Amino acid sequence: MADLVRTSKFLSLVLRHKPEEIGLTLDANAWADVAELIRLANDHGVRLTPPLLDRIVAENEKKRFAFSDDRTRIRASQGHSIAVDLDLPPTPPPELLYHGTATRFLESIRAGGLHSANRQHVHLSPDEATATKVGRRHGKPVVLIIRAAEMARAGHVFYLSANGVWLTGRVPVAFITFPAP
C-alpha cells in the first residue's frame, strides 16, 4: 500500500505540477503518453509498470487520474498548477456547492473571496462531507456554502472534472455563505 501512495504522489507531481522533473511532455490538454511516462519514471528510479498504473487509476479514492478512451494517454483530472486546457465543457452547476478549507483562512476569504492561488481553478465539492475531508487536510476544517447557480446566472463559468470536482476561476465573497461564528 505504501508503494501505491508513494507512486500516486509521484504521479500528482509529474502530471499536475512538474512534468519537466522527469522530462515528461504533456500536451495542451494535460495528456501524457503512458509508455513515455512509464519509461521516464523508471529511468528516474520510480518503479512504474502498466499494472501498477492501472491499479492507481482504478483505486485512487479521489479518482485523481484518468486514461484516454484508448488507454494510451493519462492525465490528472484537475489540480494543475501548470497552464493546461482540460477541454471540459462549461456545465451548469447545482444550486449549491461546497468549499472545504481551514478556519485559519477564513479572514482572507472574507476579505477577497476564493481564488485559485497557484492552481488554475478553485475546487468545489458537490457535498458537505467531501468538503469537510478537504478542509481537514489544511487544519481545523470549515465548510463554506457556495451559491453556484446564482454565480452562474451572474456570468461565472463552471466545469465538472472527470472525478466529480467542480471547477471555476474564482468565487467572489458575495456568493459565499460563511458558517455562523
- Residues 74, 57 contacting (CB under 8 angstroms): yes
Phi, psi of 84 (to 5 degrees): -140, 160
CATH architecture of residue range(s) 2-76: Orthogonal Bundle (1.10)
When the pLDDT of each residue in the chain is averaged and rounded to a whole number, the result is 93
Distance of CA 132 to the CA centre of its chain: 16
What pLDDT digit, counting tens, does each position of 66-100 carry? Answer: 999 999 999 998 888 888 888 899 999 999 999 99
* Beta strand spans in the chain (E): 32-33, 65-67, 73-76, 97-102, 114-115, 122-124, 141-146, 158-160, 166-168, 170-171, 176-177
Domain positions in the chain: 2-76, 97-177
pLDDT, tens only, 18-47: 999 999 999 989 999 999 999 999 999 999
Q: From CA 18, how far away is CA 167, in angstroms rounded?
A: 21
pLDDT in tens, 138-148: 899 999 999 99
In angstroms, the CA 180 to CA 4 distance is: 40
pLDDT digits (tens, 9 = 90+) for 106-148: 999 999 999 987 778 999 999 999 999 999 988 999 999 999 9
What was the pLDDT predicted at 78? 85
- Distance CA(35)–CA(50), nearest Å, equals 8
Nearest partner of 94 among 161, 166, 179, 143, judged by Cα? 166
* Statement: 97-177 belongs to CATH 3.90.780.10: no
With b for 16 or more beta-carbon neighbours within 10 A and e for fewer, the 128-146 pattern comes to eebbeebbeeeeebbbbbb
The span from the CA of 103 to the CA of 180, in Å, is 12
